Amino acid sequence: MRSSRPTRTLSPQSVEGPAGGEREPTWTAERVRALGASTDLATAAAVLGMSRSAAYKLIRRDAFPVPHFRVGAHYRIPTAPLLATLHLNDRDTSAPQRNPDALDSPP
pLDDT tens profile 1-36: 555 555 555 555 554 445 555 566 689 999 999 999
Structural domain boundaries of the chain? 24-85
- Looking at residue 91, what is its pLDDT? 52
Number of Cβ within 10 Å of residue 2's Cβ equals: 4
Condensed to tens digits (0 to 9), the pLDDT of residues 65-96 reads 999 999 999 999 999 999 999 998 765 554 44
- To the question of pTM greater than 0.75 for the whole model, the response is no
Number of Cβ within 10 Å of residue 33's Cβ equals: 14
CA 52 from chain centre, in angstroms, equals: 13
The DSSP H or E segment spanning 53 is helix 52-60
